[in-house]
């Protein structure tokens, strides 16, 4: 497929020799690509007229700097050269070096020189990958001298790779299939009852104490919004993750308030009141810290897309936490017997929800995780463990009680993968969004599995040694 002209229109023409040379280059392409390439050939070849703004090199008529190209395609770009030595038919000719500054979006396969009339040019074979913007670094070198001479250098051309038309529809179909899953509807009543049960566990005296001594909640914010995103950034560099995948990992580690955090605090002997308070506070703080973290690390990763924070989802999470838990607090004081019954069903309901969550996460992510590679699996496996360790060490430094240490550890180690997934799907183009979404799915699956293993180990240890 040949590069399609974008953002502007004009009449382009080319000489017969150029047409013949470009046609020869297309012979090696698949038949499906040839038909489209030949139909669009005129839009890829530029004029051989006068210089534009003193430049020797140009694409098309030189008035357009950004060009559109479909994803997962092969094609050519014809770069015209008005450098005087270009038309020499003997001796060393000028050489063109073309580099894509974002090889995940666009890769350069080869560059071939062509000559026509009094001028010449170069045919650049390209291959597109993920949707996005790929700036080009173009250098024209003259080897007639003793040492190669840089004649011209251009950084103003770029290729915008657009997603295939049916990719977004496929993604929407999969997400719609997940939302219509009957398991989800069976779990929703259990989730509401379980949150009411947690409300019955809230101790108002402990809550008042946290207002006077908020150190545990501040430690949680420090670990969730500073340490974990920075750890994700370091791992992305160490494992040389692609930009989209690195961004997905960082956004996942910046998304606090995982729904199972206070559930695991209960099962592992933590402070339930502190866990609920930390989840609520960190979710509120995410409306400010999550955009800030996204801006900082997008700049460090040279990601050009504008990231959209799903404020409505954050607010929905806050309501989904606060309403049933507040109802549970009221039940505790107004209906104490019923409150005791709700407390009894917390643990069995919690195990059902954990297993149901694992099944749903797998069902939802199976089409995204089809091409997952080992580096992101290894990094995703370490994220919850490092979060647990960081949280526990921070709490130990302040000499917090053991129950609070466990809670801070869990709050830092459990990430809100659904929030990260929503942010990535809203912000990135379809193919990039699917690729980046591997990170939250891997972290969700490995994190839940690791936490479940800790719960089982905790129960076995407590049964054998009779300690909490």
SS (H, E, C) 386-418: HHHHHHHHHHHHCCCCHHHHHHHHHHHHCCCHH
Edge-to-edge strands of the sheet including 57-58? 57-58, 74-81, 119-128, 106-116
| 437 HSE (CA, 13 A, CB side) | 27
| Mean pLDDT value of segment 142-170 | 73
CATH number of the domain that residue 62 is part of: 2.60.40.1080
Q: How confident is the model at residue 406 (pLDDT cuts 50, 70, 90)?
A: very high
In this structure, the answer to whether residues 119 and 137 fall within a common structural domain is yes
- Could you tell me if residue 3 is inside a domain? no
- Could you tell me if residue 326 is inside a domain? yes
Specify the pLDDT at position 100.
92
Q: Write the CA distances from 88 to 20, 25, 54, integer angstroms.
A: 20, 22, 21
Specify the pLDDT at position 182.
61
Specify the pLDDT at position 51.
41
Least confident segment among 125-134, 153-162, 417-426: 417-426
Q: Give the residue among 219, 329, 382, 233 at the shortest CA–CA distance from 285.
A: 219
Specify the pLDDT at position 77.
84
| Mean pLDDT value of segment 452-468 | 83
CA 109 to chain centre: 27
Higher pLDDT, 259 or 193: 193
The C-alpha atoms of residue 256 and residue 280 are separated, in whole angstroms, by: 10
Give the domain-ending residue among 139, 162, 185: 162
Specify the pLDDT at position 169.
46
In this structure, the answer to whether residues 437 and 302 fall within a common structural domain is yes
In this structure, the answer to whether residues 342 and 426 fall within a common structural domain is yes
Structural contact between residues 317 and 284, judged by C-beta atoms closer than 8 angstroms: no
The C-alpha atoms of residue 297 and residue 274 are separated, in whole angstroms, by: 30
Q: What is the pTM of this model?
A: 0.63
Residues 339-397: tens digit of each pLDDT: 888 888 887 887 787 777 777 777 766 666 767 888 899 999 999 999 999 999 999 99
Specify the pLDDT at position 72.
80
- Could you tell me if residue 58 is inside a domain? yes
3-state secondary structure at position 117: coil
In this structure, the answer to whether residues 118 and 173 fall within a common structural domain is no
In the structure encoding, which two tokens stand for residue 449, read together? 């599995």
3-state secondary structure at position 129: coil
Q: Give the residue among 137, 429, 407 at the shortest CA–CA distance from 306.
A: 429
The C-alpha atoms of residue 23 and residue 45 are separated, in whole angstroms, by: 12
In this structure, the answer to whether residues 103 and 189 fall within a common structural domain is no
Q: How confident is the model at residue 322 (pLDDT cuts 50, 70, 90)?
A: confident
Higher pLDDT, 107 or 39: 107
In this structure, the answer to whether residues 259 and 343 fall within a common structural domain is yes
Structural contact between residues 138 and 98, judged by C-beta atoms closer than 8 angstroms: yes
- Could you tell me if residue 9 is inside a domain? no
Specify the pLDDT at position 232.
94
Higher pLDDT, 273 or 228: 228
Report the b/e string of 70-85 with b at 16+ CB within 10 A.
Answer: bbebbbbbbbbbbbeb
Positive/negative CA dihedral, 143, 145, 148, 149: negative
Residue 187 has pLDDT above 80, yes or no: no
- Could you tell me if residue 5 is inside a domain? no
- Could you tell me if residue 126 is inside a domain? yes
Least confident segment among 87-91, 110-114, 182-186: 87-91
Specify the pLDDT at position 25.
42
Q: Write the CA distances from 390 to 16, 219, 453, integer angstroms.
A: 67, 10, 19
Give the domain-ending residue among 127, 147, 162: 162
Tell me, what DSSP letter sits at residue 269?
T
In this structure, the answer to whether residues 217 and 364 fall within a common structural domain is yes
CATH number of the domain that residue 407 is part of: 1.20.1530.20
Q: Give the residue among 166, 104, 159 at the shortest CA–CA distance from 135.
A: 159
Residues 17-76: tens digit of each pLDDT: 444 444 444 443 443 443 333 333 333 334 333 344 457 888 876 777 888 888 788 888
Give the domain-ending residue among 145, 162, 179: 162
Higher pLDDT, 149 or 3: 149
In this structure, the answer to whether residues 186 and 334 fall within a common structural domain is yes
3-state secondary structure at position 157: coil
Residue-range definition of the domain harbouring residue 68: 16-162
| 398 HSE (CA, 13 A, CB side) | 18
Specify the pLDDT at position 391.
94
Residue 252 has pLDDT above 80, yes or no: yes
For residue 2, count CB atoms less than 10 angstroms from its CB and return exposed for 0-12, middle for 13-18, buried for 19 or more: buried
In this structure, the answer to whether residues 149 and 52 fall within a common structural domain is yes
Residue 156 has pLDDT above 70, yes or no: yes
In this structure, the answer to whether residues 75 and 207 fall within a common structural domain is no
Specify the pLDDT at position 116.
64
Residues 432-446: tens digit of each pLDDT: 777 788 888 899 888
What is the number of structural domains in the chain? Answer: 2
Specify the pLDDT at position 148.
76
Specify the pLDDT at position 99.
92
Specify the pLDDT at position 88.
59
Higher pLDDT, 232 or 166: 232
- Could you tell me if residue 6 is inside a domain? no
The C-alpha atoms of residue 327 and residue 191 are separated, in whole angstroms, by: 13
In this structure, the answer to whether residues 29 and 44 fall within a common structural domain is yes
- As a whole-number percent, the residues of the chain with pLDDT over 70 amount to 74
Strands 95-100 and 119-128: unpaired
Specify the pLDDT at position 283.
82
Choose from 187-196, 245-254, 370-379 the range with maximum mean pLDDT: 245-254
The C-alpha atoms of residue 302 and residue 30 are separated, in whole angstroms, by: 33
Residue 223 has pLDDT above 80, yes or no: yes
In the structure encoding, which two tokens stand for residue 425, read together? 């799907």
Q: How confident is the model at residue 175 (pLDDT cuts 50, 70, 90)?
A: very low
In this structure, the answer to whether residues 157 and 181 fall within a common structural domain is no
| Mean pLDDT value of segment 155-180 | 59
3-state secondary structure at position 217: helix
The C-alpha atoms of residue 216 and residue 222 are separated, in whole angstroms, by: 10
| Run of H or E including 340 | helix 336-344
Residue 458 has pLDDT above 60, yes or no: yes
Higher pLDDT, 235 or 256: 235
What's the chain's Rg over C-alpha atoms? 29
In the structure encoding, which two tokens stand for residue 422, read together? 């929503």
């Amino acid at each position: 497929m040949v590069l399609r002209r974008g953002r502007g229109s004009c009449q382009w023409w080319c000489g017969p020799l150029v047409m013949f040379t470009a046609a020869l280059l297309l012979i090696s392409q698949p038949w499906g690509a040839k038909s489209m390439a030949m139909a669009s050939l005129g839009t890829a070849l530029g004029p051989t007229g006068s210089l534009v703004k003193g430049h020797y090199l140009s694409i098309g008529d030189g008035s357009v700097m950004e060009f559109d190209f479909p994803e997962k395609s092969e094609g050519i770009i014809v770069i015209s050269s008005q450098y005087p030595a270009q038309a020499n038919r003997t001796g060393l000719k000028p050489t063109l070096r073309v580099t894509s500054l974002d090889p995940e979006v666009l890769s350069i396969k080869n560059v071939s020189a062509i000559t026509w009339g009094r001028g010449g040019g170069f045919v650049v074979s390209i291959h597109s990958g993920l949707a996005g913007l790929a700036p080009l670094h173009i250098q024209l070198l003259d080897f007639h001298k003793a040492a190669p001479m840089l004649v011209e250098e251009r950084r103003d051309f770029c290729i915008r790779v657009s997603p295939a038309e049916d990719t977004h529809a496929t993604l929407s179909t999969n997400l719609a299939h997940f939302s219509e899953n009957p398991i989800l509807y069976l779990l929703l009543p259990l989730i509401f009852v379980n949150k009411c049960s947690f409300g019955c566990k809230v101790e108002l005296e402990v809550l008042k104490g946290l207002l006077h001594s908020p150190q545990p909640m501040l430690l949680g914010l420090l670990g969730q919004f500073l340490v974990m995103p920075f750890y994700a950034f370091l791992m992305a560099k160490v494992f040389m993750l692609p930009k989209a995948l690195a961004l997905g990992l960082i956004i996942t580690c910046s998304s606090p308030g995982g729904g199972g955090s206070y559930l695991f605090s209960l099962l592992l002997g933590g402070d339930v009141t502190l866990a609920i308070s930390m989840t609520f506070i960190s979710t509120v703080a995410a409306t400010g810290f999550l955009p800030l973290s996204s801006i900082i690390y997008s700049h460090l990763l040279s990601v050009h897309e504008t990231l959209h924070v799903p404020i409505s989802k954050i607010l929905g999470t806050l309501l989904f936490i606060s309403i049933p838990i507040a109802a549970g607090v009221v039940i505790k004081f107004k209906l104490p017997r019923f409150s005791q019954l709700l407390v009894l069903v917390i643990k069995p309901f919690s195990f059902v929800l954990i297993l149901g969550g694992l099944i749903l996460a797998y069902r939802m992510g199976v089409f995204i995780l089809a091409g997952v590679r080992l580096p992101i699996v290894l990094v995703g496996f370490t994220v919850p463990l490092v979060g647990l360790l960081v949280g526990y060490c921070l709490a130990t430094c302040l000499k917090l009680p053991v129950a609070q240490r466990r809670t801070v550890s869990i709050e830092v180690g459990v990430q809100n993968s659904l929030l990260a997934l929503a942010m990535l799907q809203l912000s990135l183009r379809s193919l990039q969004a699917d690729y980046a979404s591997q990170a939250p799915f891997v972290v969700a699956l490995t994190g839940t599995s690791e936490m479940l293993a800790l719960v089982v180990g905790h129960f076995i240890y407590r049964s054998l040694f009779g300690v909490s």
